Amino acid sequence: MHAYIAAMVKLETPLAFSKMHGAGNDFVVIDSRGASGAVVTPALARAIGARHHGVGFDQLAELRDSETADLELDFWNSDGSRAGACGNATRCVAAQVMAQTGRDRLTLRTARGLLHAMRHGAQVWVNMGPPFLDWQDVPLARAVDLLHLPLPGDPVAIGMGNPHCIHFVPDAEQAAVATRGAEVEQDPLFPEGTNVEFASLIAPDHLRLRVWERGTGITLACGSGACATTVAAHQRGLTGRRVVIEADGGTLEVDWRTDGVWLTGPVAHVFDGVFTPEFLAGAE
């Protein structure tokens, strides 16, 4: 067991958390700022992520202290693996911290790098950084044309701090997200696995998107996936650089600017809770 969790169990101190979602993309948020180190381990992430025995989430976000930003964010998938980027969770955390502090701008250090968040009226936008458009940075296993991958469906590969494989299909509603998503996630072309998107064109500034997320499965929305899909659609000549994304759980908006890919959409703080010492003791 992680030393810090063991200490909490010994002291019979529960672990506080928040449940949030962005367009149905749901998260557990744990604030470890002020602690001696990170709290979350792969075993704890799996235990919390179990929807029948824990809380359930698409991703878990842990807030930690940072010497180079307002805060640092670690992301976990429900299978206990690490996620390099999570756009909707970043938006949720930024909105929560802004509400707590009254600030309109934040910097967040993630595995993706330093991200900037800002409030415009009721919306919180996050700059997810420039897309990775080189095969080694996505990453892929070998040099190929990123706009036309040698895979069924002629998909596009884009990196957003995590890999994405975007399929443009006539009707996203009819896409075999579960079967095809699971297959492509583990394709040898993606040595670290990949998120898999299925998008159909509604208008030159409007896409329908369904997502299979690496380490999680089908989710109702994916922020980094919406960003990657917008970049891919623009590169394919399907859309402009600012696009409305209709995901299963709600509407996101993406704006690919010169300084990076900006993302916004709805944020919901659902409830707060605590994990009991008994639950934490079982997460070994």
DSSP annotation string for 136-162: TTTT-SS---TTS-SSTT--EEEESSS
CB of 216 within 8 A of CB of 56? no
Q: How many domains does the chain have?
A: 2
Mean pLDDT of 101-124: 95
For strands 71-77 and 123-127, give the pairing: unpaired
Q: What is the domain extent for residue 115?
A: 3-121+267-282
Per-residue pLDDT of 173-190, as tens digits, reads: 999 999 999 999 999 999
Does residue 173 form part of some domain?
A: yes
Q: Note if 92 is an active site residue.
A: no
Is residue 34 situated within a structural domain?
Answer: yes
pLDDT (mean) for 37-42: 92
pLDDT at 282: 86
Asked if 222 is an active-site residue, the reply is yes
Mean pLDDT taken over the chain: 94
- Dump pLDDT digits (tens) for 219-245: 999 999 999 999 999 999 999 999 999
Q: Would residue 143 count as lying in a domain?
A: no
Q: With a threshold of 0.85, does the pTM exceed it?
A: yes
In sequence order, what are the beta bridge partners of 110?
113
Q: What is the Cα Rg of the chain in Å?
A: 18
Distance CA 23, CA 10 (A): 38
Same domain for 107 and 160, yes or no, is no
Is the predicted pLDDT of residue 9 greater than 50, yes or no? no
The DSSP secondary-structure symbol of 172 reads G
Look at residue 232 in the predicted model and tell me its pLDDT.
98
In a domain, 150, yes or no: no
Is residue 7 pLDDT above 50, yes or no? Answer: no
Amino acid symbol at 195: N
**Active-site annotation holder among 86, 92, 165, 227:** 86
Question: Looking at the domain assignment, is residue 132 inside a domain?
Answer: no
| Residue 148 reports pLDDT greater than 60 | yes
Q: What is the mean pLDDT of residues 244-256?
A: 98
